[in-house]
Amino acid sequence: GQQLNQSPQSMFIQEGEDVSMNCTSSSIFNTWLWYKQDPGEGPVLLIALYKAGELTSNGRLTAQFGITRKDSFLNISASIPSDVGIYFCAGQLQGAQKLVFGQGTRLTINP
Amino acid sequence: NAGVTQTPKFQVLKTGQSMTLQCTQDMNHNYMYWYRQDPGMGLKLIYYSVGAGITDKGEVPNGYNVSRSTTEDFPLRLELAAPSQTSVYFCASSTPTGRRTEAFFGQGTRLTVV
């Protein structure tokens, strides 16, 4: 099946640092979504992107829909302890119906 | 607005037992999905449905069955539970309104097969 390559798989950072993660594919996507999963909970939608080049913010989070439509990026500025969790990207392939998920980036923050 | 509701939240089964994980959504979404998440891992698609009466296999369908008789409900059936099916199961729903597709998840069912 179609795979999204999400990287890095894990990050260990200090509180206050900025975070960057990305998802890439060899195929073209119509939609990119970014989710966060807290321990013991289901994933929650953070940001949705629908146009190539689109840049959208949600508080300290900023995500971009890559110009080639084959990638997306999520940045978190000035990380705080509650940012800990697993971040997933998801995309809807051009011409397809179901969503495809990346493998997740596990974020750990040292106070 | 309840969103996506999964029951039960926790379940322990013995090997060989059967059970149904329930999922219902009240957002009138066309698309529904079942994922499993093993410890420390990502989401693996088990089955999905694009509307009532239509289902299709995902990446890991073996050992599971689904049905979609209504728009709201998408139950996942385990016929002969095996320890390898110990996992957290998430149901999600979405609808492609025009070009907008956003999936919403339930809280998960934590299943242990002993």
Nearest-by-Cβ selection for A48 from B35, B43, B102: B102
Number of other residues whose CB lies within 10 A of the CB of residue A8: 13
Please give the Cα distance from B111 to B48 (Å, whole number): 20
Distance of CA B73 to the CA centre of its chain: 10
Number of other residues whose CB lies within 10 A of the CB of residue A95: 8
Q: Is B96 within 8 Å of A103 when comparing Cβ atoms?
A: no
Q: Is A42 within 8 Å of B106 when comparing Cβ atoms?
A: yes
Please tell me if residue B14 touches chain A, with a CB cutoff of 8 Å.
Answer: no
Residue numbers in B near A49 (CB within 8 A): none
Residue numbers in A near B45 (CB within 8 A): 98, 101
Please give the Cα distance from B89 to B10 (Å, whole number): 10
Sequential pLDDT tens for chain B (114 residues): 679 999 999 999 999 999 999 999 999 998 999 999 998 888 899 999 989 999 999 989 999 999 999 999 999 999 999 999 999 999 999 886 666 778 899 999 999 999
